[in-house]
Structure 1
Amino acid sequence: MITAVPFVLTAALLSPAAPAAADPVRAVAQETVSAGATGVQIRTVHNGRSRTVTAGVSELDSRRPVSPTGRFRIGSTTKSFVATVVLQLAAEHRIGLDTSVEEYLPGLLPHGNEITVRMLLQHTSGLYNYLRTISLTGTELEKIRYQHHSPESLVAIATARPLDFPPGSEFSYSNTNYLVLGMLIERTTGHAWGDEAVKRILRPLGMHQTVIPGDRTRIPGPHAHGYQEMNEQLVDVTELNPSIAGASGEMISTTADLDKFVHALALGRLVPPALLGQMTTPRSAAEEYGLGLQTRTTPCGIPVFGHTGGIPGYGTIAFTSADGKHRVEASLTLGRGPSNDAFYSLIDKVICA
């Protein structure tokens, strides 16, 4: 079992000797490690004041503290970047949100004439989630961990199965949707989706620590290691070929870079206000998912938007209030937990601190 480990506070705004109970963010970091994470870094911004709290260890054998500037795999938080590029192309009238996928990628999807770009963005296409077939847990991960996967091959897994429901009739989170969106960006621009993200988002915002790795298996620079349980043992799964996620979840970043991204979204620097409104408006309150962004109303009444992310060994949070004054980004390097509910609890506690 993982035992509780010392944590490190990296902020000039709070004395390192202050008890966890006196600081809710510090307490959340401690709770997250106690719930099974091997390490955590939490960056918070409240009314212009930012700080980063870390807890746990960056590697179990060494017991080195988590770096407050370390990189990590952001998993499905990648989807917000892909959606932002698609919305920018929509603003340029190069993509129609209510145009069928068939018009852009003829023959790719059996029901492509019924599935629109909007449905892909909001997970209402009905496309089967290919990751229901490819297990990324336990010893099954070891079999495919270093393999290359093309988006075409992964989409083919999904299209070999019937739709989960008629397009547009229901919501069901499917990573397949964002693989198709990555292919759509490439077909529209002539460039890989990652190259467009670099040109349109990463470079303009100065997100110099953010990487779109392709087939590269290592995380460059300082980083905490991620773990996964296999045969009742924790196995280091930091290295893997993230092409298994592609446009649905392959990116690597830092909490500081993710903060630049969500802040720029909130300030309208990336997407025009009308389209940002669509990104942050779910079809219904029950769905809490717009166009590439999750929405949430915190217990203190502050509505936020952003995205969580998960990939073997890592969990990610990147959320902002609509006015950009309250933000939280976090990386959890996973061991034997915590549960998905803990991600949303972390958002609520930090935003309302």
Structure 2
Amino acid sequence: MTRTRLLTAVLVAGVVVAGPSVVPAAASGPAAPTAAVSAPSSDTALATALAGLPTADATAALVRVGGSEGSWRGSSGVHDLRSNRPADPDARFRAGSVTKVFTAAVVLQLAAEGRLDLDRGARSYLPELIPASYAGVTVRQLLNHTHGIPAPDFPGTTVEEWYANRFQVHDPRDILRSATSKKPEFAPGERQHYLNIGYTIAGLIVERVTGDTYERQVARRVLEPLGLCDTYFPGKNPRITGPHNRGYQRMRLDDGTVGLRDVSVWGVTDGWAAGDIVSTTADLERFTRALFGGRVVRGPLLEEMFALPKVTDLKTGKQAAYSSGLSMTVLGGREVWGKTGGRWGYNAAVASTRNGSRTLVYSVNSTDAKGQGMNKVAEAIMVAAYGRP
């Protein structure tokens, strides 16, 4: 796997359909990309990365680059394949695991307030849910994926099976019980394995120590202070409320052929505090600037988000790439920190240099979301913004 594709893996990891779920061919040619604002030196590369949509890999893309090095905004592709009208650059989208950055920020805020201890066992906060076999797992290890708790079981192993179960509602407590009923993958703190389960547990700990819902805590602590009016948690609602570009996923259709299915309506309760947020590029850009500028997590605890554990990855054997909420790779000769996310039909990312000189937010309506490797359009955007590994 190339370092650029690793970035997707580390800066990564819809639901009653209106009208027919099988999508017809687009009525006309691809929409030309639109761009605005003063452009950095990579403006041509960014425009090229967005050109020609829709393609087999993506139907739309929205991009914002900012920071002291210059700003650039662009959108390309279509709102939907039926009307073929241009993509809405202000559209809401599923940001998937970008949710983890918000979750980590709230946990670190609570730690700064003395309401929880990062070095304390997670079981001490949730003794009735976490068995003694996981007593050694700390809150910090939940955030940096060194906890050793395996993934829970969900119905289905293919995109087609997941689609059939897209309206199933999952309770985070049941998800936790499913995961901790299994043997640990490794002793706490010995390796790193990127999974959602640590953030599901972190969300439950937020609720336990505050006596409030996870969603209200994120809203009160992050969304409202920053004025992120287009960012919200959908809960059990499988639809994206407000304007949004349709998401499509390549899968086997009812007639046995492989094609694109509209997956804009899809429940996300399996993700919850690990991956259910809906946002816009404008909101995520504002959040990224505030986070890297020390206005979300303040003081020494912000460094937790830029501290990589000194262990190796369980699958690759390489050095750990995930911190608390973020991950790091080297692009264009410098460190780039951020987080990607994927839900069926949608890929998203936030990224920045450590000093905030170059920020990036994108949403790509990818047809291979959650697939192996990085979506080609998303990869081209990342390289255009920061350079090659």
TM-score, length of structure 2 as denominator length = 0.83
Residue in 1 that maps onto 2:340: 308
Structure 1 pair 303/22, CA: closer, same or farther in 2 (3 Å)? closer
Check if 1:281 corresponds to 2:307: yes
Q: Which runs of 5+ in 2 are unaligned?
A: 1-23, 253-257, 311-317
Does the CA contact (< 8 Å) of 2:92 and 2:279 recur in 1? yes
Residue in 1 that maps onto 2:328: 295
Residue in 2 that maps onto 1:17: none
Give, in angstroms, the shift of residue 128 of structure 1. Answer: 1.1
Q: 1:260 aligns with which of 281, 286, 289?
A: 286
Give, in angstroms, the shift of residue 281 of structure 1. Answer: 1.5
Between the aligned partners of 1:345 and 1:22, the Cα distance in structure 2 is 13
Residue in 1 that maps onto 2:60: 39
Q: Which moved more, 1:138-147 or 1:178-187?
A: 138-147
Between the aligned partners of 1:48 and 1:254, the Cα distance in structure 2 is 22
Tell me the SS of whatever aligns to 2:218: helix
Tell me the SS of whatever aligns to 2:51: helix
Q: Deviations 1:121-174 (Å, cap 9, x if unpaired)? A: 0011111112x6444742212222112111011112212221111111111011
Tell me the SS of whatever aligns to 1:340: coil
Tell me the SS of whatever aligns to 1:230: strand
**1:1-353 aligned within 5 A:** 5-13=30-38, 23-30=44-51, 34=55, 36-47=57-68, 49-110=70-131, 111-130=133-152, 133-135=154-156, 137-231=158-252, 232-284=258-310, 286-298=319-331, 300-336=332-368, 340-341=373-374, 342=376, 343-344=378-379, 346-352=381-387
Between the aligned partners of 2:69 and 2:44, the Cα distance in structure 1 is 18
Tell me the SS of whatever aligns to 1:318: strand
Does the CA contact (< 8 Å) of 2:348 and 2:361 recur in 1? yes
Does the CA contact (< 8 Å) of 2:247 and 2:263 recur in 1? yes
Q: Deviations 1:286-318 (Å, cap 9, x if unpaired)? A: 2211111111221x2232212100111110110
Between the aligned partners of 2:380 and 2:205, the Cα distance in structure 1 is 35
Between the aligned partners of 2:357 and 2:25, the Cα distance in structure 1 is 36
Does the CA contact (< 8 Å) of 1:137 and 1:228 recur in 2? no
Structure 1 pair 100/12, CA: closer, same or farther in 2 (3 Å)? closer
Between the aligned partners of 2:335 and 2:359, the Cα distance in structure 1 is 11
Structure 1 pair 136/276, CA: closer, same or farther in 2 (3 Å)? farther
Structure 1 pair 47/38, CA: closer, same or farther in 2 (3 Å)? same
Structure 1 pair 22/205, CA: closer, same or farther in 2 (3 Å)? closer
Identity of aligned residues (%): 33
Higher relative contact order (CA 8 A, sep 6+): 2
Q: Which moved more, 1:174-183 or 1:338-347?
A: 338-347
Between the aligned partners of 1:155 and 1:134, the Cα distance in structure 2 is 15
Does the CA contact (< 8 Å) of 2:31 and 2:53 recur in 1? no
Between the aligned partners of 1:52 and 1:181, the Cα distance in structure 2 is 34
Structure 1 pair 271/223, CA: closer, same or farther in 2 (3 Å)? same
Q: Deviations 1:10-54 (Å, cap 9, x if unpaired)? A: 41447xxxxxx9711111123785461111111111427433211
